[in-house]
Copies of this chain bind each other. A is one copy, B any other.
């Protein structure tokens, strides 16, 4: 009964996102296997974290692909991305808080993601959709922050997962202020 490597990764992501200091023992127990078996799947803690990072990068980039960021209004593209990235929100939140030991390929992947999202905001600014007093880099960081806040709220049961795209996109796009023209 070969233990599914992906299953281990998923449960590890869920656990480590919530509590970055979780023990390898905790991770193993969360996956329903023994410590030693966990070590057979991932050479060590570092390898596990790297695998999580790689998975987060991969799923985020896949979400970016699915969102076709270059098509149509930037606002719609952003909504598509937020909806597409929802399943990986936990992994993304994990990545955001682990922003130190990024090395090599993970760092490169993160840069690619940054660049694509920033480019989207820039396109929106140049197209007159987005305001220009908030730099794309900050809008990108803010998006990460909102995704993280949303993911944590969902994990703690304060928010329903199905509300994620609306809450995140609406706040980022329109803010809390009541729109003047409405």
Contact = CB atoms under 8 A, between A and B. Distances in A.
A59 interface: no
A57 to B, nearest CB: 18
What copy number does this chain have within its complex? 4
Nearest to A145: B149
Contact of A171 (B137, B153, B172): B172
A21 to B, nearest CB: 6
Interface size class on chain A is 35 or more
Nearest to A136: B176
Interface in A117-171: 121, 124, 128-131, 133-134, 137-139, 141-142, 144-146, 148-150, 152-153, 156, 158-159, 167, 170-171
A3 to B, nearest CB: 18
Interface string A86-101: 0000000000110110
A180 interface: yes
A180 B180 CA distance: 7
5 closest A-B pairs (Cβ-Cβ)? A145-B149, A175-B175, A180-B181, A145-B145, A174-B175
Given A137-B158, A171-B172, A173-B177, 5 more contacts: A18-B100, A130-B178, A134-B170, A142-B167, A174-B177
